[in-house]
Amino acid sequence: MSDNQTIVVVAKPEKSVLAAFFLTFLFGPLGLLYASIGGGIFMIIVAIMLGAVTLGLGFLITWPVAIIWGVLAASASKRKPSASQ
């Protein structure tokens, strides 16, 4: 019996916090797709639904939320994962 183990490392590129801020600042929930694809899709759906119900005023809520979410998601991609085995 051999003790050979294969270690697979999945490398994801780090996201720029500055780029995430500017993309979400300019494009709102659509810009969130840069930092978080799932979060971007979710916020686009929420923004459309809330915008339709509030005659567009919902974007005053969803836009800043998208900016904060984008910056947090980009900064989370820069954190080093802890080595656990």
Domain ranges of the chain: 17-78
CA separation for the pair 28, 77 (Å, rounded)? 20
Tokens standing for 32? 């969130």
pTM above 0.85, yes or no: no
Contacts 24+ apart (CB under 8 A), 9-18: 12/77, 13/77, 14/77, 14/78, 15/73, 15/74, 15/77, 15/78, 16/74, 17/71, 17/74, 17/75, 17/78
pLDDT digit string (tens) for 40-83? 999 999 999 999 999 999 999 999 999 999 999 999 987 756 55
